[in-house]
Structure 1
Amino acid sequence: MSKIIPFKAVRPTPDKVALVTCRNYDDYSPAELAAWLNFNPYSFLHVINPAYVHAQKITLDKRFKGVAHKYQDFKNEGIFIADEIASFFVYEIQTKVQTFTGIVAGTSIEDYKNNSIKKHEDTLQYRVELFKDYLHQTEFNTEPVLITYPDKAEINTWISKKKNEQPLYHFSTTNKEKHTLWKVDDLNELQWLEQQFENIPELYIADGHHRSASAELLYDQDCHLGNANLDYFMSFLIAESNVKIYEFNRIIRDLNGHSKETFLKLLSEHFIIKSKEQELWKPQGKFEFGMYLDGNFYALFYKLENNNSSLLENLDAQILYDKVLQPILGIEDLRNDERIEYIPGKQSILTLKELVDEGEFEVGFMLFPSDISEIKALADNNLIMPPKTTYIEPKFRSGLMVYEL
């Protein structure tokens, strides 16, 4: 049984929504960030990064208070409006290659605690604590957790009908995406949708493990205050067939002292190696890996020596770590070792090639993306993927709606 609730959102006015909403803060280069803040006074970037020029010179406590004050300024200036009726929302993101449609709702901290909302990624405690403090100080969140649910024909049909109605917002963004939002505040529809999710035994976090963990920590800290909004966290619920899962490719700065010939010989113990020379080759299936080294591409086919391997041991990212990154290249800590960096699989492999050709990195590895069944199987068995295994879309626009705490 999964519990979802409607909530009273705070939203940009329709005439300003395209100006207010923004990509995730980390997606902007310093030059892009400066440009948006200098030339767009309505950008939500002003809220999440107040006094950006001096951001490195102030304490986190002052910065979080600055976020809260700037958010209040946006409300006072009428840039944001507060809904009077608790609602669900249907949200559609149309990119150049795919359309994503899901439901924005509050999901239950209790479900998260009892593992009805399942996880597949580990979290860093300092990041969880940091975002918990951010939520405590600012008293709002605009970054929903991306959660998948099993496809249900009834919900799919209902969403299709809802999309024929007049939307609340319909706007385009500078990265050539189209965004459409419908509000659901009819009491019968609200109750029907809640009942539909009550019949779904388990939900799965696709993206946002730190945000959900921070919401739990904030609940544990402040639930005695009697704030019912802390019992839930904002989520973007999407059918599992509608998510897009990319891999994270890896680039390594050196060969850990090995020559190219020695490195290839060590690889051959666990992989069949085929040179692809200048062909821009990517893995075509599970247990296949691409490699770019010394100006040439290689196909690496994993030798399945142990058919009794566990789910985690059969995960491509884990295989690469167990057979290459850790024993040959000496990389122990995938999160913090400065010798490794990650490139989302949605980027062209030419990006990886260029970084290696420029000389800062010695070798790059390309993986085949995991699928939703693999992610669910790991979550069902309480297994944790290695860091930076999946890059999952859709990505929600910051500032599109705010869940106040």
Structure 2
Amino acid sequence: MVHVYPFRAVRPAPGKAEEIAAVPYDVVSAEEAREIISNHPFSFLRISRADALVPDIDPYSTEVYELSRNIFDEYREKGLFIQDEKPAMYVYRVYDADKTYTGIACCADTREYESGEIRRHELTRYDKEEDRTRHIDTMNANTGPVVLLHGAHAEIKNILKKVVEGNSPDMVTSAANGSRHEIFSITDSEILERLSEIFVSIPALYIADGHHRCKSAVNIVEKRKKDGAKVPEETHHVLGVIFAEDEVKVHGYSRLLTDLSPLTPESFLKKISDIAHITPYGEADRSSFALKPKIGGKEDHVFHLYIKGTWYECVIPHNPKITDIRGLDVSVLQEQILIPFLGITDPRGDPRLQYLGGARPIRDLMTKVDSGEFAAALAMQPVDVRTVFSIADAGGIMPPKSTWFEPKLLSGLLVHLLE
């Protein structure tokens, strides 16, 4: 069973959401954050990426984390942020192109991450984990949500539908990609109680996005216990937005190769052809987010390679004896091509291997290769949500950058205070 909790959100004052809402801290560099802040002076990136404001200071210095807290306090003092008087849950709805995503913003329980009811499918990197732990600790707040998933549930869907029907959102803002983000408050005690009851009957939640934010929230509890402080109940709670499995979209996560050493493009193609069916793909829709297989079957391992101005479809036949994580397309690519042919043994740290999020059209991959910045690109097929659930249920860890979940939520619309 899992537990969810209403909370008194700190959020932009009426009319301020458009000025404050920002992309998550970890999808932009300090330079990119600095440029966004120059165009949007009240951007939440001033809080989530304060290092962008002081480029001459070590981004992991105490001064940077304290600057984040000082700006947050300043926003509250000036009335840019207000705190809700009553605990609430919130409907978070995103319109993005032809898809609508609807989830519940609330708090989950860090203790259930430790006990396994909140399940992960990725490893966290220590440096990123330490950064967010220090940020949350100094802020005394969760400033960005963890995106969590549960199995499809008709009653939850109906409750959320009734909450938004005929009502205007409390907050509306648009992201740079054109998506529209809306927040609706749920304060009715009967609805809150019923949602809590439903979630107690759900066996597990699954982290889709925000593994570092979730683990860092757990770290805060442990740190404060070690410091001898009494840990309030609210500190055990972590900000999340929970979606049903049929309310999200999963993209593949593309790979980019800086070079093919010790191979040439021709010898690389030849080596792949020794283990896979490989054929020119033909004209590709540059605006699409993935290439549909033309020769690969449903069970086969399919990826698309862009090299020297041409797309190729590569198909490695399915091996029925491999049913675990080793059977994922990204695992097969790593074990059968990247390691033996290019010597890329560390997919987390090898600088020759870079990644591009799946919610990017393939023209972005083509541009990066055509410009000479990269030698080749690999477009991957998406992983089914249920596959992610199964791996997490078994305690498995997927290879890095296996999934790209949509929607991507904005930061600064809802902040959860730890005390």
TM-score by length of 2: 0.91
CA distance in 2, matches of 1:31, 1:112: 34
For the structure 1 residues 265 and 170, does the alpha-carbon distance in structure 2 shift closer, same or farther, using more than 3 Å as the test? closer
Maintained 8 Å contact 2:30/2:52: no
Deviates more, 1:60-69 or 1:41-50: 41-50
Maintained 8 Å contact 1:250/1:340: yes
Residue matched to 1:177: 179
Residue matched to 1:319: 332
CA distance in 1, matches of 2:258, 2:73: 45
Mapping 1:177-326, distance limit 5 Å? 177-223=179-225, 224-276=229-281, 279=284, 282-284=291-293, 287-304=301-318, 306-326=319-339
For the structure 1 residues 175 and 272, does the alpha-carbon distance in structure 2 shift closer, same or farther, using more than 3 Å as the test? closer
Maintained 8 Å contact 2:46/2:53: no
Q: Counterpart of 2:104 in 1: which secondary structure?
A: strand
Which 5+ residue runs of structure 1 have no aligned equivalent?
A: none
How far residue 276 of structure 1 moved from its aligned partner, in angstroms, is 2.8
Residue matched to 1:11: 11
Maintained 8 Å contact 2:48/2:68: yes
Residue matched to 1:339: 352
CA distance in 1, matches of 2:89, 2:208: 20
Q: Counterpart of 2:128 in 1: which secondary structure?
A: helix
Residue matched to 2:125: 124
- Output the amino acid matched with 1:81: I
Residue matched to 2:153: 152
CA distance in 1, matches of 2:56, 2:98: 38
Residue matched to 2:343: 330
The question of 1:386 aligning with 2:387 is answered no
How far residue 51 of structure 1 moved from its aligned partner, in angstroms, is 7.0
How far residue 382 of structure 1 moved from its aligned partner, in angstroms, is 1.1
Maintained 8 Å contact 2:172/2:182: yes
- Output the amino acid matched with 2:169: P
Maintained 8 Å contact 1:283/1:367: no
CA distance in 1, matches of 2:375, 2:203: 47
How far residue 80 of structure 1 moved from its aligned partner, in angstroms, is 0.5
CA distance in 2, matches of 1:3, 1:30: 36
Q: Counterpart of 2:340 in 1: which secondary structure?
A: coil
Q: Counterpart of 1:211 in 2: which secondary structure?
A: helix
- Output the amino acid matched with 2:11: R
- Output the amino acid matched with 2:223: Q
Q: Counterpart of 2:326 in 1: which secondary structure?
A: coil
Percent identity (aligned): 30
How far residue 204 of structure 1 moved from its aligned partner, in angstroms, is 0.8
Deviates more, 1:65-74 or 1:270-279: 270-279
For the structure 1 residues 27 and 358, does the alpha-carbon distance in structure 2 shift closer, same or farther, using more than 3 Å as the test? same
Residue matched to 2:49: 49
For the structure 1 residues 40 and 295, does the alpha-carbon distance in structure 2 shift closer, same or farther, using more than 3 Å as the test? closer
For the structure 1 residues 347 and 386, does the alpha-carbon distance in structure 2 shift closer, same or farther, using more than 3 Å as the test? same
Deviates more, 1:257-266 or 1:204-213: 257-266
Residue matched to 1:370: 383
CA distance in 1, matches of 2:329, 2:51: 43
For the structure 1 residues 49 and 13, does the alpha-carbon distance in structure 2 shift closer, same or farther, using more than 3 Å as the test? same
For the structure 1 residues 38 and 361, does the alpha-carbon distance in structure 2 shift closer, same or farther, using more than 3 Å as the test? closer
Residue matched to 2:74: 73
Residue matched to 1:400: 413
How far residue 272 of structure 1 moved from its aligned partner, in angstroms, is 0.8
- Output the amino acid matched with 1:55: P
CA offset digits 1:197-226 (Å, max 9, x no partner): 011011111111111111111111114422
CA offset digits 1:297-332 (Å, max 9, x no partner): 11111123x321132111011010011111111111
CA distance in 2, matches of 1:391, 1:229: 30
For the structure 1 residues 30 and 115, does the alpha-carbon distance in structure 2 shift closer, same or farther, using more than 3 Å as the test? closer
How far residue 26 of structure 1 moved from its aligned partner, in angstroms, is 4.3
Maintained 8 Å contact 2:136/2:143: no
CA offset digits 1:23-42 (Å, max 9, x no partner): 12344576764454234332
Q: How many residues align?
A: 404
For the structure 1 residues 209 and 29, does the alpha-carbon distance in structure 2 shift closer, same or farther, using more than 3 Å as the test? closer
CA distance in 2, matches of 1:175, 1:30: 19
CA offset digits 1:252-282 (Å, max 9, x no partner): 1222212333322321232111123554582
Q: Counterpart of 2:54 in 1: which secondary structure?
A: helix
Maintained 8 Å contact 1:2/1:199: yes
RMSD of equivalent CA atoms: 1.9
For the structure 1 residues 337 and 248, does the alpha-carbon distance in structure 2 shift closer, same or farther, using more than 3 Å as the test? same
